[in-house]
Structure 1
Amino acid sequence: MKKVAGHHHISMITKNIKENNKFYQNILGLRRVKVSVNQDDPTMYHLFYGDLIGSPGTGLTFFEMPLAGSMHRGTNAITRIGLLVPSYESLVYWKERFTQLGVKHGEITTYAGREALNFEDRDGLRLVLLNHAGKTIPAFWLEWTNSIVPSEHRILGMGAVEITVQSLESLSKMLQNMFGYTLVSSSNQQAILQSVKGQAFGEIVIVQQDGPRERPGRGSVHHLAIRVKDHDELKFWEKRIKDFGYKIIKLTDRYYFESLYFKEENGIIFELATDGPGFTIDTSIEELGKKLDLPPFLEPKRAEIEAKLGPIG
């Protein structure tokens, strides 16, 4: 049975792109690897942060929506993003750093069986640093050596992603039966699944919660993208998703990768994204994230698009 290979990226909503840019570069020490726009609405910035080249599994992406209101937390939403750090000492480092820089955070605790430190960004997006305890990371994750964070404590990439839903069973079965995720633990209220057994970089934590649905706003997660190898594999998954009775929302070429979107029964949006061609298709590694990059079909409208976008900083 074919399986997906882990997380690709995850996309969120931010109200203020300047503050977002400061937080993820200057506080978390991630590299801004691509400045672009929402291809479906080019008046909206789309920023990508990650490792040296924004490798699959390291990407945090944000759409700027200046008019976004407050997010009202609830169920049927992606509710927490795990980021892997090298060691317990890294958690101590980050706790001190967050205190010094005024970042909302908790105490060092445990989450999904790992030592953890919960925190929030300026929009109220919930994140958690997870002790990877020196375990192997994907060989294609490439460290960005210009980060302001010391090498021994830098964020490695994405870990467990938490999804809160009214029906744990339906989501769990879909991930197992359609995509080949392995169920590694379960209870009445929580299940942990892994795309690659024993590895944190493709882990999904499902939490069952009744009550009102989340009302999206700043700090909301729009979708989780999972990895597929290439175009041919994407077409395989398109057929499989349809065969399981799900409707494809969109199948499109995003230039940096090809994408397929669908919605599962609780309303969670998943994207399947190809590993390539990647962000260096139009920019050198050295110049990544330094200017506005547009896919070829938007390039003729560059002047018009730039006129509607404010400075990032």
Structure 2
Amino acid sequence: MNTNLIGLHHITAITSSSPKIFKFMTEILGLHLIKKTVNQDDVRTYHLYFTDDMGKAGTDLTFFDFPGIPKGKQGKNGITRIGFRVPNDKALDWWQARFNEFNVRHNEIKTRFGSKYLYFYDFDDQQYQLVSDEINHGVPAGDPYRHSPVPAEYAISGLGPSFVTVNYPEQLNQVLTEVMGFTKLATEDGKTLYELHDGGHGAQIVTETSVVLPDQFQGFGTVHHIAFRTEDAESLNWWIKRIQEARLAQSGLVDRFYFKSEYFRPGRGVLFEIATDGPGFLLDETYEEAGVHLELPPFLEDQREDIEAHLAGFNTEQKTED
């Protein structure tokens, strides 16, 4: 049994509008909506999964749209920026031009930890970065969505280094290095880079320390949690025991049908998850139908009529570019 964490699994954020985030993620960023379902803990809330072509673990950004939730505010003790990978430096130039074309707010291309990156923002002021894989190694990238409006040579290929901002750097460092197996690689401009097992951009997070920022207020435009990959249920059970032994606040085993999980907090305000690579998002529908219809795991099927009655339906058929 391989108990090493492999890299990033998914990130879950909060949006003000499922229809708007669907358009942003698919029509501008060119990702594949591979699953349209509900938050299993709050079934009146959509849960949308945007991935590479086949929904490979490590390529997945998901969104909740909690009804009536206010706008969030960035701050300390939260996950503060979502990272994506692109193939090379040339792709960043292409994305900068695309953001200008679609009036997407962005910064200038810069370099940190030896790689070029580009900050950008969505309509909720959610914070993102594209990171160039020009000199990257480690965890393989995903496969571009075959019907994406974005050319494959520039396409987003998975999750990349994402930011966690806290006022307890020593405690977070201990959890990352002594519990989870991260290596502390470098510090630059007040930011520290951590990596899992030489996995490169698909296995990195960046930490920042602040004692002056207010605590992050979670609402739309902020991140709910970040998840890390483990191979299967056997290795997940090993991790559950390890988290319990570390005396961290944790959930125990949670079966999400498409994967199994353990949630835990490395410290105040930040929610981590460890999730299995499988069985995957095409477990209950075909590739051609993925993301088009509302899918529910078997344990929610008997509630379908009530669930659908409390959700505002919207069309999620993606435009194809052949």
Q: What TM-score range do you get, normalising by the shorter chain?
A: over 0.9
For 1:135 and 1:214, how far apart are their aligned partners in 2? 31
Aligned counterparts of 2:164 and 2:136: Cα–Cα separation in 1 = 24
Matched residue SS, 2:298: coil
Deviates more, 1:206-215 or 1:105-114: 105-114
Residues 178-193 of structure 1: matches in 2 within 5 Å? Answer: 178-186=179-187, 189-193=190-194
The answer as to 2:72 corresponding to 1:71 is yes
What displacement does 1:198 show? 5.3
SS at match of 2:308: helix
**Residue 263 of structure 2: aligned partner:** 261
Note closer, same or farther for the CA distance 1:161–1:250 as it changes in structure 2 (3 Å cut): same
Q: Which residue of 2 aligns with 1:88?
A: 89
Q: Which moved more, 1:182-191 or 1:284-293?
A: 182-191
User: Which residue of 1 is the match for residue 273 of structure 2?
Assistant: 271
Q: Is the 8 A contact 2:229 2:275 kept in 1?
A: yes
Greater Cα offset, 23-32 or 84-93: 84-93
**Per-residue Cα deviation, 1:175-214 (whole angstroms, up to 9, x for no partner):** 1101111111137943211013251101010101112201
Partner SS for 2:299? coil
Q: Distance in 2 between matches of 1:137 and 1:48?
A: 24
- Matched with 1:103 is 104
C-alpha distance in 2 between matches for 1:208 and 1:188: 11
Does residue 155 (structure 1) correspond to residue 160 (structure 2)? The answer is no
Q: Is the 8 A contact 1:171 1:266 kept in 2?
A: no
Instruction: Output the amino acid matched with 1:110.
Output: T
Q: Distance in 1 between matches of 2:135 and 2:146?
A: 18
Report the counterpart of residue 21 of structure 1 in structure 2: 22
Cross-structure match for 2:309: 307
**Pick aligned residue for 2:290 from 288, 298, 303:** 288
The residue identity in structure 1 corresponding to 2:215 is: R
Give per-residue Cα distances to partners, 1:17-58, cap 9 Å, x unaligned: 111100000000000010000001111000000111221110
CA shift, 1:139, in A, is 4.8
Sort the Cα spacing of 1:74 and 1:135 in 2 relative to 1 into closer, same or farther, 3 A: closer
Q: Which residue is equivalent to 1:54? A: 55
CA distance in 1, matches of 2:308, 2:116: 44
Equivalent residue for 2:253? 251
Task: Tell me the number of residue pairs that the alignment of Structure 1 and Structure 2 aligns.
Answer: 313
The 8 Å contact of residues 193 and 203 in structure 1, kept in 2 or not, is answered as: yes
| Percent of aligned pairs sharing the same letter | 38
Does structure 2 conserve the Cα–Cα contact (< 8 Å) formed by 1:29 and 1:147? yes
Distance 2:141 2:204 in 1: 18
Instruction: Indicate conservation of the 8 Å contact 2:5/2:228, yes or no.
Output: yes
Is the Cα–Cα contact under 8 Å of residues 85 and 158 in structure 2 kept in the other structure?
yes
Question: What CA distance in whole angstroms lies between the structure 2 residues aligned with 1:291 and 1:215?
Answer: 32
TM-score (norm 2): 0.93
Q: C-alpha distance in 2, partners of 1:140/1:213? A: 34
Aligned partners of 1:149 and 1:203: how far apart in 2?
25
Q: Secondary structure at the match of 1:279?
A: coil
| Alpha-carbon separation, structure 1, partners of 2:141 and 2:109 | 29
Q: Indicate if the aligned counterparts of 2:181 and 2:197 stay in contact, CA closer than 8 A.
A: no
Shift of 1:143: 2.8
Distance 2:53 2:198 in 1: 26
Give the secondary-structure state (helix, strand or coil) at the position aligned to 2:94: helix
Unaligned runs of 5+ in 1: none
- Distance in 2 between residues matched to 1:202 and 1:96, nearest whole Å: 28
